[in-house]
Structure 1
């Protein structure tokens, strides 16, 4: 498909379908089919139609990422992978893809492919305005001659949404580990971030949104505790920064040693980190 500047680029349609009602919680075209493209679509599906009890996905490497497993575990969703070379269980979503090709892609206008956003707006207008409101005859056995939206309305009481205090943006953040260099920096996706000098030599967990602007701060965690927000290093200002003094001390896992002499009172220095 030609997007934007008319350069031909391959697009991938990522979609979720409710097995009982054939409603599409969410779907979107993306320029790749990796985990970073899959998870934002999953998050929108949860926001719009609630939490599934089970998430049935393909057996490819993109769906076996540790991050997807972690997100599903936090949401309380059972992650199930299809068996290799077994098409059973994927019939409904494959039929929906076929419907998209026949009823949507053949009717796209030039304006619909000016950008990925425009293409996805057209996809969602068609999904909500036509697909969800159409009785699909023989394709949808078990819908009792109802449209997907009508069938969904009859089962709406059983839909569960995340708890009010659940921060989905935070829950869906990606996590990677990095070792803090001697100049108290870490590198992520070609960008250098400055962290506290107390973390030099330590392995930290960086939590970030891959779709966020490149200069946005990222979370730094150490031993499952939130430490700080790290910001990209400014090359010019970096020339004048002294990096040999930590602004905090890390909490030790071992208990503090007893004073050598009872009469001598030593002050124990203890740094605090904010809990996530």
Structure 2
């Protein structure tokens, strides 16, 4: 194992839940702080050191959970969780789903539901607790031997007390504050001689009440009716930011040019994600290749992750403080959205993947309309194809084309953050960024939902969405589609057999844009290690190039029998492309793909490092913070 690496931490799918009054670790100094207040500026919060009582302003991205609820037995790749265990977890989730709101704290509701589905109340509570420990379906996967059941719940008297005060005091037309309600719980508990639940528990219970119930029972029935009654062309159950996002693809109405010769190479493709509540763009994916399931997965990951580095890499000044897990992703019925791998990845991170029902206007094509808005702006750029022949008229798109893919991406980013997000939206009456802030922070008439939840570990999130293969490990390494990979990390698993004596297969994930390195999941250490080509003389290449190499050799009536053929064929192909790049658009596009693949590399840990030593490798930016293309294709 490489010196300086820690194997004590594995994959982590927990979430960081930001809520005022809660305690967090500040990654900068390792001290514990209480979150005091959200500051509506650059994802900033006011925190107070619990030891020194000194307050300061910090970024939410500096905060981490004090107590890690991550289950060690789930520190594994998703593919390692068998279908039997996963399907059982999904059945548990469906059983508790009706209770994943304020009803989970109501013993009467839990008991009635337990009787309805034919399980004990204790079992139902255990499932709810397991789900809440991680915040996703993964928490419901059967535990391995030796694990405890976690923290105890409130006792019956405390539950009844909190429910009574909330129903009789908080949900009243006088509209008392949360702080007043906490004091009332403490007062009644003292009168009854009951130990009061913590302020944190009471606050959490109050915040779990839906906005509809809160408005209705606090004397605002008309507002609740107007806001939550479904209307034609209005997406139902969109009550707060990231409750639903929509994703769709489009070819961009623009001819772009290559970086070297500045000659036209065709239209790029855009995958776009939008928050229905605020109309904020949550993420995008720009590529020279046709949309695929990987386009969707990469767009989802970019939606969840912070965007500061993305703006910095493209030198775009502005703010894009949109991040966090969506509750639901709404898509059309295309094959790229119906991938089982994509569905499982979403389930693992507690994201519902929902397909648009036919003939239901209330589920409206919000994303199609915003794509239409974007393309109208693109029609003002040199090289636009417009949206139809009539609009194009005598305009020669290719001769007018001037923008490279990188230049267009910078334009797109600037348009998103500095124009679209700040312009008043006709359906909202305010700008998307104003609507987003209202949903997050609230005002005197609205209860904000607070900052969205962040992934505990970005690396786990990204690996969960990458494609994978299973292969056996031999003395010379592992072979995937004729390419051999080797590293000492494979040695302890050479010729391993399963309990039936058959050769054991291991999981490998790969970046389709650069298959010069794959990621090996070690089931014993429960972590990933990069495995390079066994023949170090082979250059990095994409799946797209490798498939062309194999076809190139086939056309020459040669069989692929050794790595030198790959090296020679790839070199010859690239030289041919370079020579013909000035002559043909297809060749220029091919050359540009190759440059984009090789261009943008960032340093990421080869394993999750400890705080004292980090050893790194370069891999392509398929982790989405700055890349502009990620070629994907299945190897036969």
- TM-score, normalised via structure 2 length: 0.33
Q: Is the 8 A contact 1:59 1:84 kept in 2?
A: no
Contact 1:112/1:119 (8 A) holds in 2: no
Partner Cα separation in structure 2 for residue 169 and residue 14 of structure 1: 17
In the alignment, structure 1 residue 206 sits paired with structure 2 residue 460: no
Change (3 A) 1:151 1:235: closer
C-alpha change, 1:83 and 1:216, in structure 2 (3 Å) is: same
Q: Which runs of 5 or more residues in structure 2 are unaligned?
A: 1-254, 307-322, 384-399, 442-448, 498-502, 539-561, 563-636
Shift of 1:171: 3.0
Residue in 1 that maps onto 2:454: 162
Relative to structure 1, the CA distance from residue 113 to residue 205 in structure 2 (aligned partners, 3 Å threshold; closer, same or farther) is same
Aligned to 2:256: 2
Report the CA distance between 1:59 and its aligned residue: 0.9
Counterpart for residue 519 of structure 2: 218
Instruction: Report the Cα distance in structure 2 between the residues aligned to 1:13 and 1:129, rounded to whole angstroms.
Output: 19
1:79 alignment partner, SS class = strand
Contact kept, 8 Å, 1:104 with 1:126, in 2: the verdict is no
Distance 2:298 2:348 in 1: 16
- Alignment partner, residue 173 of structure 1: 466
Distance 1:184 1:121, change over 3 A: same
Tell me: CA distance 1:226–1:47, structure 2 relative to 1, closer, same or farther (3 Å): closer
Q: Which residue of 2 aligns with 1:69?
A: 343
Maintained 8 Å contact 2:257/2:402: no
Higher helix share: 2
Q: How many residues align?
A: 231
Residues 83 and 226 of structure 1, relative CA distance in 2, 3 Å threshold? same
The answer as to whether partners of 2:257 and 2:264 remain within 8 angstroms in 1 is yes
1:191-270 mapped onto 2 (5 Å cutoff): 191-194=483-486, 195-196=490-491, 197-199=494-496, 201-211=503-513, 213-221=514-522, 226=527, 229-234=530-535
* CA drift at 1:2: 3.2
CA distance in 2 between counterparts of 1:47 and 1:108 reads 32
Q: Counterparts of 1:87 and 1:179 in 2: how far apart (Å)? A: 50
Distance in structure 2 (CA, Å) of the matches to 1:216 and 1:236: 13
Distance 1:97 1:236, change over 3 A: closer
Residues 44-59 of structure 1: matches in 2 within 5 Å? 44-48=302-306, 49-59=323-333
Structure having greater relative contact order (Cα 8 Å, sep ≥ 6): 2
The answer to whether the Cα contact below 8 Å between 2:285 and 2:298 also exists between their aligned partners in 1 is: no
Contact persistence 1:218–1:230 (CA under 8 A): yes
Conservation of the 8 A alpha-carbon contact between 2:477 and 2:534: no
Instruction: Tell me the residue number matched to 1:103.
Output: 377
Larger mean Cα displacement after TM superposition, 215-224 or 199-208: 215-224
**Structure 1 counterpart of 2:403, from 106, 113, 137:** 113
- 1:220 to partner: Cα distance: 3.5
Q: Hey, what's the Cα distance between the residues in 1 that align with 2:325 and 2:537? A: 47
Task: Give the 3 Å change call, closer, same or farther, for CA 125–71 of structure 1 in structure 2.
Answer: same
Greater mean deviation of Cα atoms: 201-210 or 125-134: 201-210
Q: Deviations over 1:117-148 (max 9, x none)?
A: 322221111011111111133xx2xx2x2101
Matching residue within 295, 316, 327 for 1:37: 295
Distance 1:150 1:210 in 2: 38
Note closer, same or farther for the CA distance 1:56–1:180 as it changes in structure 2 (3 Å cut). Answer: same
Q: Distance in 2 between matches of 1:105 and 1:25?
A: 23
Aligned residue number for residue 187 of structure 1: 480
Q: 1:176 to 1:187 in 2, by over 3 A?
A: same
Query: Secondary structure at the residue paired with 1:210?
Result: coil
User: Which position in structure 1 is the counterpart of 2:424?
Assistant: 135
Partner of 1:13: 270
Hey, what's the Cα distance between the residues in 2 that align with 1:96 and 1:84? 20
Q: Distance in 1 between matches of 2:419 and 2:294?
A: 29
Partner of 1:247: none
Match of 1:24 among 281, 291, 309: 281
Match of 1:151 among 409, 430, 435: 435
Counterpart-to-counterpart distance in 2, 1:60 and 1:236: 41
Quote the Cα distance in structure 2 between the aligned partners of 1:224 and 1:55.
Answer: 33
CA apart distance, 1:33 = 0.6
Q: Give the drift of 1:46.
A: 0.7
Distance in 2 (alpha carbons) for counterparts of 1:113 and 1:74? 39
Matched position secondary structure for 2:275: coil
List per-residue Cα deviations over 1:60-113 (Å, max 9, x = no partner): 110111221122122111111123576763421111111111123422577863
What is the distance in 2 between the residues matched to 1:163 and 1:215? Answer: 28
How far the C-alpha of 1:215 sits from its partner, in A, is 2.5
Identify unmatched segments of 5+ residues in structure 1. 240-276
Give 1:199 deviation, angstroms.
3.8
Contact 2:508-2:518 at 8 Å conserved across structures: no
Alignment RMSD (CA, Å):
3.2
Task: After TM superposition, give the deviation of residue 55 of structure 1 in Å.
Answer: 0.6
The change in CA–CA distance for 1:179 and 1:81 in structure 2 (over 3 A counts) is farther
Give the C-alpha shift of residue 236 in structure 1: 7.6
Normalised by the size of structure 1, how large is the TM-score?
0.71
Cα pair distance change 1:221/1:63, threshold 3 Å: farther
